[in-house]
A = this chain, B = another copy of it.
Amino acid sequence: MSLANIKDSEVDIVIGVLHSDLTSFMNEWRPIFSRFHLIIVKDPDLKEELRIPEGFNIDVYSKSHIDRVVGSSSSIVFSGYSCRYFGFLVSRKKYIVSIDDDCIPAKDSKGFLIDAVAQHLANLATPATPFFFNTLYDPYREGADFVRGYPFSLRSGVTCALSCGLWLNLADLDAPTQALKPAQRNSRYVDAVMTIPSRAMMPISGINIAFDREAVGPALLPALKLAGEGNLRWETMEDIWSGMCVKVVCDHLGLGVKSGLPYVWRKDRGSAIESLKKEWEGVKLTEEIVPFFQQVRLPQTAATTEDCILEMATTVKQQLGPSDPVFTRAAEAMVEWVKLWKAVGSGSSPL
C-alpha cells in the first residue's frame, strides 16, 4: 500500500463522544492514533467531564464551542451521534477519519492488529473505479490488478472521496434484525476493498469511515433527525441519510466511494429489544428515502459539493416534504449546514 500521497499532518481523526470515560478506548487505539491530530467532540447532552488519557495531540470541543459557532437558533442539532459533524466542520485538514467510541482496533485473520487509519488512507490515496466493476476487487492493492476485459481507458480511475469500513463482532444491523438474531456476531473477515459502482446506492454508516474533506466534506451532514432518536446506533438515521447525500454527490461529480476494509471491532452495547419498544421510524422512512435518492439527478450547473447539497435540499423539500415534516426539517438543516460550512470553513468563524 502506497501512502506516499497522504501525510499524517493532512489528517484529522474525529471522534464524537457519547460516553465520558475514554480511557480504555484511547489506550486501545494508542498505537494507531498517536501520530495524528485528534478532534474530540463531546455530545452536548453529556454532562460529565471527559476522562482522556495523556499522550495524544487533541482538541476537545464541547457544548460551549458549539453554541458559539452555530448559536442557539440553528436548525442544526449536534446532539448524540451528530456531535461528530461539528468536528468535520471545524477541521482544517484535507482528510478526516471518523470512528465511533464503541469500536476498538480489530485483528486480521492472522491475529495482527489492523491499522484502520492506514487502510482508510490507502483507500483514499488510490483511485476508485465507479464506472466499471472489477471482479478482482481493488485493482490498486498489492497483488491485484484489473481483470481481463476491463477497458484500459477506465483503468486510471477517479479520485476516491469516501472510504467506508466494516465491523467485526457486532455488525451494523438494524434493531429488528439484531432483535431476531440476538446471538449473531460477525466473524467473517472479508479481505477486500471495492468501489461501489456509480448510481448504485448503499447504506453508509458513520461508525468507521474516512473521507476527503476538501472534496465532499459539506455532504457529510447532520440533517435527518428522528423524532424518537436514541443514543444507540440503530436508533439513528443521520448517517444513512448523509451517506445517500454523499453518494449522489460523488456520482454527480465523478468521485469514487469504496467499501470493505478496514474492519474495526464493535463492542456490544444496549438491547435491541428495548430499542424496538421505542417508536422507531427509521424502517418506514427508509422506504421513502431510498427511491428518492435512487432517482434524484443534479443539474450540470451544480459544480461543487455545496451546490449539490443546496440543489438536493430543494428537491427533498418538494418531493419528500409533503409526506413527513421530518424531511422538511432535513432540507432546512442541509441549507443551514452549507451556510455554516462556508462561514466556518472560510476562516471567518470565531473559533
Q: Point out residues on A near B: beta carbons under 8 Å.
A: 109, 131-137, 143-154, 164, 166, 171-174, 177, 181, 184, 186-192, 194, 196-205, 233-234, 237, 240, 243, 259, 282-283, 286-287, 290, 294
Cα(A147)–Cα(B208), bound, Å: 14
CB distance from A1 to the nearest CB of B (A): 14
Q: Is the interface of A mostly helix, strand, loop or mixed?
A: loop
Q: Is the CB of A202 within 8 A of B132?
A: yes
Instruction: Specify which chain B residues have a CB less than 8 angstroms from the CB of A173 in the assembled complex.
Output: 145-148
Contact with A259, one of B131, B135, B149 (Cβ below 8 angstroms): B135
A135 contact set on B, CB distance < 8 A: 164, 166, 202-205, 259
A149 touching B174, Cβ below 8 Å: yes
With A132-B290, A149-B243, A203-B148 known as contacts, the answer to whether A143 contacts B188 (CB < 8 A) is yes
Q: Cβ of A204: which chain B residues have Cβ within 8 Å of it?
A: 135, 149
Given A133-B202, A197-B197, A287-B152: A171 and B188 within 8 A (CB)? no
A237 to B151, CA, bound (A): 12
Residue of B nearest to A259 (CB): B135
A240 & B149 in contact (Cβ 8 Å cutoff): yes
- A236 CB to closest chain B CB (Å) equals 9
**In the complex the two chains form, is B191's CB within 8 Å of A190's CB?**
yes
Besides the known contacts A133-B201, A148-B233, 17 further A-B residue pairs in the complex with CB atoms under 8 A apart: A132-B201, A133-B196, A133-B200, A134-B202, A136-B172, A144-B188, A145-B181, A146-B173, A147-B205, A148-B203, A148-B240, A149-B243, A151-B290, A152-B287, A154-B290, A197-B197, A199-B200
A133-B200, A192-B190 known; A184 vs B237 contact (CB < 8 Å) = no
What is the CA–CA distance of A144 and B152 in the complex, to the nearest angstrom?
35
Give the contacting residue for A172; candidates B143, B148, B186, B294; CB below 8 A: B148
Name the CB-closest residue of B to A186: B143
Closest residue on chain B to residue A260 by CB atoms: B135
Closest beta carbon of chain B to A286's beta carbon, Å: 5
Q: Cβ of A171: which chain B residues have Cβ within 8 Å of it? A: 136, 144-145, 147
Smallest CB–CB gap between A284 and chain B, Å? Answer: 9
Q: Return chain B residues, CB-CB under 8 Å to A194.
A: 194
- Complexed CA–CA distance, A144 and B144 (Å): 26
Instruction: Name the residue of chain B whose CB is nearest to the CB of A152.
Output: B283
Closest chain B residue to A174 by CB distance?
Answer: B148
Known: A133-B196, A143-B184. A150 touches B191 (CB 8 A): no
Question: Can you pick out 5 interface pairs between chain A and chain B where the beta carbons lie within 8 Å of each other?
Answer: A151-B286, A152-B283, A188-B191, A190-B191, A191-B191
**Contacting residue for A152 out of B199, B233, B234, B286, CB 8 A:** B286
Are B286 and A166 in contact (CB-based, < 8 A)? no
CB proximity of A295 to chain B, nearest CB, Å: 12
Chain B residues within 8 Å of A200, by CB: 132-133, 197-200
- Complex partner residue of A143 from B153, B166, B187, B196, CB under 8 angstroms: B187
A118 to B276, CA, bound (A): 38
Does B151 contact A190, Cβ atoms closer than 8 Å? no
Nearest CB of B to A179, in Å: 12
Q: A143-B184, A149-B174, A173-B146 are in contact. Are A190 and B137 (CB under 8 A)?
A: yes
